Structure 1
Amino acid sequence: MTRPDARPHPGQDSTGLQEVSAGAVTALVGFTSSFAVVLTGLGAVHASGAQAASGLMALTLLVGLTTLALALAHRLPITVAWSTPGAAVLVGAGAAVGQFSDAVGALLVCALLLIATGLWPWLGRLAQSIPTGIAQAMLAGVLFPLCLQPVLGVASDPWAVLPVILVWLLGLRFAPRWAVPLAFVAAVAVIAVHLIASGRGVEAGVLLPAFAWTWPTLSVTSLIGVALPLYVVTMASQNIPGVAVLRSFGFTAPWRSSLLVTGLGSALAAPLGGHAINLAAISAALAAGEESGVPQERRWRSAAWAGGFYVLLGLGSAAVVAVAVLAPNGVLAAVAGVALIATLGSAVQGAWEDSQERVAVVATFLVAASGVAFAGISAAFWALVVGLVLRWALARR
């Protein structure tokens, strides 16, 4: 395992500010670019406002604490994130969940699967044996309806949604890293104008952080329709790419301890409303990459700073939720949609790479995008089944 020397070289003390800055950017971009997806997913599986706020705070705090633990223990720029594609899976899983406690039970089972993957390597190999094209097609189908929301929002309330999209486009042109956070800032401005025009206000009590405990219950439909697709997506779209991203910058991620720590964090988050945490993939480069300006042997400190900033963001997440729930219809969904467009593009590209599996991939995508649940089980699960069966049948032919 790669373990860069933690001792600073002479003349490198001036990089301390860059370490802090890289950590702050990692946490701010990671939080603001996808928290709307988390709230949308939790709402889809029948979480109340208090439960969704509790879930977001639990996720943010545990992302921070686990990032700190892994970065300090291994002296590597390991960053943790919540499963954004996993939150998208929850959006389409409402039909598989009778009540929020069923979803919590499924989230707990997914966390146990992540822990088991860390304990028994063969389970990780089994997860990786699912063809990349099928897994990516399922993810693309799940993301597709969410990425349509900005378009639908413009049609239903253009004055509220268009400013968010325009700011996002300007961000893509001039500051790509900050495009989604800037869209969130635009959404806050839209919400402020809406509140002033309507004379509504935010109660001080809802701004204070508070956990809401939910006792888990188990149902067959939630286990099949939520736990299994969430596990597959978290492994295929977060943990495995997260290892690859670190490797591209010259670091070897500790696979076993990373899965055990994030799996345990996911288990702690589940009764509090959080869905799953995992190795960061997209945002991992913010702390581990050369663009941070930090020497390679000191980038683990940027990850540690990111963990600390995530903890601070977690304590303030209740205020974010309190403002978000007052947004005009379509604004929060638009922020979630633009946040997922890049992920959708990557999933589509990964799904269509192998032309020999095109029929199975397209069928997987269509079933997942339909959102139709059969026998109370979400479309994401049936998409995997259809894709794997078609791939097997056509291969035999």
Structure 2
Amino acid sequence: MLRDFSVQSLFMGVLIAFVGFASSFAVILHGLAGVGATETQAASGLMALSLSMGVCAIVISIITRLPVSIAWSTPGAALLATSGAVQGGFNAAVGAFLVCALLIVVAGLWKPLGRVVSSIPPALANAMLAGVLLSLCFAPVKAIAFNPLFGLPIVLAWAIVGSVNKLYAVPAALVAFVLVIAFGVEMPDGAFAKLSSALVPEAEFVPPVFNAAAMISIALPLFIVTMASQNIPGIAVLKVNDYHPNPGPLFATTGLFSLFSAPFGGHAVNLAAITAAMCAGPDSHPDRKRRYWSAINAGIAYIIFGLLAGAVTTFVSLAPPVLIEAVAGLALIGAFSSSAVAAFTEARTREAAAITFLVTASGVSFAGVSGAFWGLVAGGLMLALARFSRRKS
């Protein structure tokens, strides 16, 4: 293994971790807060996810000698942000995280469940994801309306840098966000003392509560979004780069590490999709057999970032919430456009996808269950009705 190490893989691993963390940690914090997490619990969840991602990437890559990149479920966090608090508060959300993790483990070990997830029409899964992301993608516009001097620098940094290199667009927006806070937002008394005290990470155990509303509103949609938007595309990226792992054990392993992070506020760990291409591609190393070191190095960097989660969360809390929502929204625009295009590509499923999208995007909950679940149900019924009508004719 040590002979396979290279400086190129070291730099790529650090870049992967920086892009993965900086481009979406705002979404994670916003999502955890959306289901009732306090600032301390959100920091604990961010740290638990980062540590689980790092250790999982190191373990899998050492065992398989494949460049398997691990990430947190960014679409899942976006789902949490729109779900709202459920009965039982954040404790119930943690119970749902545990159930979701168990479902991922079972999907990896028990093939029938994996086949059921794979059989969900991609158009409906993408429409549900697009509906979840829509309201979050409004946040940059709302930030400009809130205060143009705060919102415009963040959006302009994202747009200008993204026109040159999309990979650095969100990190550029994050830099602009930091500068806006540092020079534009009046710091409350004791802010710096609070920030320095947060440098020591604190993991907060959250006793889980299990109830039906949280299972249907959070656990099931989170499982579907994580599998359809992260795990399955992650395997596809590896195959494109001529790596052919057995998907089941990889899914089960990410589910186990999700179980480890859930009691401390982490929602889900999964295979990466975007950073997977960086990890498995030729930029990682010319010799494809040595690229797994990029995933290992990224794992180490994720662990380091995770230990700084308390300070990151405290610093973010100093800004108006709409600004961190703006960064999160910018990070999700690419995912929204991709899922929306995929949802409405096929004419046969377009109407069912539209129903799924509209019900989900409405944000309306019925019987304590979030719109994401009902959107999938409504779209599925519409699709089944259309197929039945075609058979009759």
Q: Settle same-fold status: TM greater than 0.5.
A: yes
Aligned with residue 292 of structure 1, among 261, 269, 284: 284
Alignment partner, residue 73 of structure 1? 63
1:20 aligns to 2:15 (yes or no) = no
In structure 1, the partner of 2:240 is: 248
Q: Is the 8 A contact 1:95 1:373 kept in 2?
A: no
Among 340, 358, 374, which residue is 1:348 paired with?
Answer: 340
- 1:338-363 Cα distance to aligned partner (Å, 9 max, x none): 00001111101110121111111101
- Whether contact under 8 Å (2:76, 2:225) holds in the other structure is yes
- Pick from 130, 137, 158 the counterpart of residue 140 of structure 1: 130
Gaps of 5+ in 2: none
Question: Alpha-carbon deviations, 1:150-193, whole Å to 9, x = none?
Answer: 01111112111111111111111223211111111111111111
Worse-matched range after superposition: 156-165 or 229-238: 156-165
The residue number in structure 2 matching 1:267 is 259
Unmatched 5+ stretches in structure 1: 1-5
- Per the alignment, residue 3 of structure 1 pairs with none
The number of residues matched between the two structures is 387
Q: Secondary structure at the match of 1:278?
A: strand
SS at match of 1:355: coil
Cα drift, residue 321 of structure 1:
0.7
Give TM-score, length-normalised by structure 1.
0.95
For residues 285 and 243 of structure 2, the distance between their equivalents in structure 1, rounded to whole angstroms, comes to 17
* RMSD of equivalent CA atoms: 1.5
CA distance in 1 between partners of 2:344 and 2:87 (Å): 31
C-alpha displacement at 1:328, in angstroms? 2.3
Following the alignment from structure 1 to structure 2, what is the Cα–Cα distance between the partners of residues 166 and 154?
11
1:351-362 equivalences in 2 (<5 Å): 351-362=343-354
2: CA distance, partners of 1:291 / 1:180: 21
| Whole-angstrom distance in 2 between the partners of 1:260 and 1:199 | 47
The answer to whether 1:174 aligns with 2:136 is: no
Q: State the TM-score, normalizing by the size of structure 2.
A: 0.95
Match of 1:304 in 2: 296
Q: Which moved more, 1:236-245 or 1:326-335?
A: 326-335
Equivalent-residue separation in structure 2 for 1:262 and 1:198 (angstroms): 40
User: What does residue 155 of structure 1 align with?
Assistant: 145
1:31 aligned partner: 21
Q: How far apart, CA to CA, are the structure 2 residues paired with 1:198 and 1:314?
A: 26
**1:71-110, aligned counterparts within 5 Å?**
71-110=61-100
Whether contact under 8 Å (2:44, 2:203) holds in the other structure is yes
Q: Give the letter for the 2:14 counterpart.
A: A
- CA positional deviation for 1:274: 0.3
Identity score, percent: 45
Question: What does 1:322-337 correspond to in 2, within 5 Å?
Answer: 322-337=314-329
Shift of 1:20: 0.3
CA contact (8 A) 1:221 1:376 kept: yes
